[in-house]
Structure 1
C-alpha cells in the first residue's frame, strides 16, 4: 500500500500495458507521474490477454518477467501479476475493482494514461465506471499546453462531458479523495515504442539504450522477437 503523507494515504499509481517489451518510455512515464503527482508508488501491471490488440509477440509470463527485471532497483515500483494470472481478458475496470477490494475504499488510486489512450477511453470496457474507482492522470504529449490550461481538441463529446467537472491541475486533490479527478502532467517526449524494439530485434539491429540492459539480456537469452 502507498505510504501515508501528512496523515493521508499517498496516492498509488497504476500503469498497465502489454509491455511487449517494457521499455524506457514506460519507465519514464511511471517515474515522471510519480514525481509530478506525489505518488507513493506505482504498480506496473502487464496485460495477460489484452483486449484491444492482436496476440503479443511474447508470452504473458515473458512479459511479466521482463517487467520485474525492469522494475528492479526502483523501490517505488512494484509489478502486479494479477492480469497475467487472471482467466479473463485484461480489462482495466476489472483490475481497478480488484485493487480497490485489496487496498480498501479510502486508498487513492491514480490510473496513468498517455494522451492517445485517454482519448480512446470511450472504447474501453465499462469506461464510465473508471472514474468511481480511480483518478486518471494524463501524460501531455509534445505540443500540448502544460498544467492543463488547454485540453486536446480531439476529445470526443462524450469524453469531454464525462471529464468536465473532474478536471484539476492540483495534485493535492488526488490525496483528498480515493478517485474521480482527471489531471494532466507533463512528460519528457521519448520516441520509443515496443513495436520499434521488436522490429529492430527481428531485423538483426540493436535496441540497446531503448530499454533496460536486463530486459535486453532476457530478450537475447529467450530468443524473443526473432523472425
Structure 2
C-alpha cells in the first residue's frame, strides 16, 4: 500500500490543505493519506487550539473521503512531536512492507536538513514537497519528490485574523468547519 502522511498544526484546516491532499492523492495514486494534527510542535511556539478540536475540524473537512483518515497519534503524545518518531510509529502500525510518503510544504523542505534524523526519514520514506509562495526548493535527494502543485493564497493565520476582525471565512474553509469554529467560539 502507498500511504501518504500529512502532518501540520491545521489551526484551522482550510481549503488549501484539502486541495493539496486531494491533488497529491490523485497525482501519486496513493491508497491512503493520513492527516496528523501536531501535538506539541518541535519547531514553533504558536498558541494552537486544543488538539481534539483541531482533530475534529480535520475530520469534518475530510468527511466521506474513504482514502483520507485523521489520526490523533501526535495529539495523544505528551512529548514534543518529531516527524521521525511519528513515521516509525506508523511503520510499526501499518507494516514496513508499505511505501510511505511524507508530505511537506516547500517552506519545510527549505529547512529539511535541520530536522531530527532527516537522513533516516529519507531512508524510511519518500518526501513529497508541494509548492509554497515565496519558497524555492530545498535539498535534493533521490527520495524527495517536488510536485508542481497549485499555489493557494490561503493560510491559517489569514483565517484567524479574519475571525478576530469579524470577517467571513466562508470562502476559505468547508462549511462544516466554519460552523464548528463559530459554534465553539474559536480564534476570537
* TM-score bin (small chain): over 0.9
* Aligned equivalent of 1:83: 74
* Aligned equivalent of 1:176: none
Listed as ranges, the matches of 1:22-41 within 5 Å are: 22-41=13-32
Quote how far apart the aligned CAs of 1:123 are: 2.3
Find the aligned partners of 1:38 and 1:22 in 2 and give their Cα distance: 23
User: 2:9 touches 2:48 (CA, 8 Å); kept in 1?
Assistant: no
User: 1:25 touches 1:190 (CA, 8 Å); kept in 2?
Assistant: yes
Aligned-CA RMSD value? 1.7
* Aligned equivalent of 1:64: 55
Structure 2 residue corresponding to 1:138, chosen from 121, 126, 129: 129
User: 2:36 touches 2:73 (CA, 8 Å); kept in 1?
Assistant: yes
- Is it true that 1:225 corresponds to 2:174 in the alignment? no
Structure 2 residue corresponding to 1:94, chosen from 85, 93, 96: 85
After the TM superposition, which segments of 4 or more aligned residues of structure 1 sit over 2 Å from their partners? Answer: 140-144
Count of aligned pairs: 188
Quote how far apart the aligned CAs of 1:141 are: 4.3
Structure 1 residue corresponding to 2:154, chosen from 192, 196, 216: 192
Query: Cα deviation per residue 1:7-37 (whole Å; 9 max; x = unaligned)?
Result: xx3x111100000001111111111011111
Find the aligned partners of 1:124 and 1:207 in 2 and give their Cα distance: 33
Greater Cα radius of gyration, structure 1 or 2 = 1
Runs of 5+ in structure 2 lacking a partner? none
TM-score, normalised on structure 2?
0.94
* Aligned equivalent of 1:115: 106
Find the aligned partners of 1:143 and 1:97 in 2 and give their Cα distance: 31
Quote how far apart the aligned CAs of 1:103 are: 1.2
Find the aligned partners of 2:44 and 2:117 in 1 and give their Cα distance: 18
User: 1:46 touches 1:63 (CA, 8 Å); kept in 2?
Assistant: yes
Q: Tell me, what secondary structure is at the counterpart of 1:15? A: strand
User: 1:18 touches 1:56 (CA, 8 Å); kept in 2?
Assistant: no
User: 1:141 touches 1:186 (CA, 8 Å); kept in 2?
Assistant: no
Runs of 5+ in structure 1 lacking a partner? 1-8, 145-151, 167-180
* Aligned equivalent of 2:10: 19
